[in-house]
Amino acid sequence: MITSLSNPKIKNVIQLLTGTKYRREQRLYVIEGVKLFLEAPADKLRQVFLTQEGYEKIRKIRLEIASLVTDGTMTNLKGPACELVSDEVFRHMSDTKTPQGVLCVMSMPDHRVSEQIEAADEELLVLVLEEIQDPGNLGTMLRTAEAAGVSFILADQKTADLYNPKVIRSTMGAIFRVPVIYTEDLPKALRRLKGNGVKLIAAHLEGSKNFWDMGYPERAAILIGNEGNGLSDEITALSDCAVRIPMEGKTESLNASVAASLLLYEWKRQNRTL
């Protein structure tokens, strides 16, 4: 059992939790809690840290986890390295107010735009994000994207870090199921989408149509901009059309995740019957 905060593995977990730089350099991130552990893809699990209480919780749900945990590290060919840690150490590792005693280090997936386009059927729905800053908004959009049937999410480098612990918690597991691709050149990526028959629909305060008054094609990308400034002129100019969300009263704009939800579900209403 690990009882020291000076343990290199514990120090590294804390760095991964607190620093985007460390996550990007190592291509690793951290998840917490029983639900996320049970939903995490096994091939991406790299380390599992459990308190005794956390171990008992998991063992009641997944009996096979018992064979992976010893009083030190056990590298099992059928699973990740598992460690028991003291409650005190786990409290310092945890990013939550009420830790469940289960924490995992995961490797980041490697998704590519070209692969996602090739894998899609005739239908293709993409959520495009430009400079989304709030981690809560990003997490909510990811969760909504899964529910609406989004094929993948495309974001620029100024959008919040997907692997921020707050984002991960708010996705409720959708982070494992919806591919998210960050691009250094968003205009170039959008032109690639257009070249593959994807219509770019921008959410814009000065849109020419209400969002429900246009026909959404089977292959579409919904463009959502920064919470305060909206989409940049460059990205707006690349869109095939701009739509607005009509509002009454003195409200000037909606939360970015709410705006994304409305447009994504209008596409879903028009293109899918459940």
Summarised one tens digit per residue, pLDDT across range 142-161 is 999 999 999 999 999 999 99
Residues 77 and 206 in one domain: no
Last residue of a domain, one of 107, 137, 155: 107
Task: Answer yes or no: do 89 and 122 share one domain.
Answer: no
What whole-number distance in Å separates Cα of residue 46 and Cα of residue 239?
40
Which CATH number belongs to the domain containing residue 84 in this structure? Answer: 3.30.1330.30
Same domain for 87 and 170, yes or no, is no
Q: Give the residue from 35, 29, 1 showing the smallest Cα distance to 15.
A: 29
pTM: 0.89
**Mean pLDDT score, 232-247:** 95
- Looking at the fold, whether 95 and 181 belong to one and the same domain comes out as no
> Is 42 within 8 Å of 52 (Cβ atoms)?
no
End residue of a domain, out of 47, 79, 107? 107
124 within a domain of the structure (yes/no):
yes
d(CA 92, CA 42): 25
Residues 178 and 102 in one domain: no
pLDDT at position 209:
93
91 & 219 share domain:
no
Q: In what order do the strands lie in the sheet with 152-156?
A: 180-183, 152-156, 124-129, 219-224, 199-203, 241-244, 209-210
Those residues with Cβ within 8 angstroms of residue 154's Cβ, 6 or more apart along the chain or in another chain: 113, 126, 127, 128, 129, 181, 183, 186, 189, 190, 193, 221
Model pLDDT, residue 66? 56
Is the CB of residue 198 less than 8 Å from the CB of residue 105?
Answer: no
User: Is pLDDT of 191 > 90?
Assistant: yes
Range of the domain at 213: 113-271
Please report whether residue 159 resides in a domain: yes
Question: CA angle at residue 252 from 212 to 156, to 5 degrees?
Answer: 75
Q: To the nearest whole number, what is the mean pLDDT of the chain?
A: 89
82/139 same-domain check: no
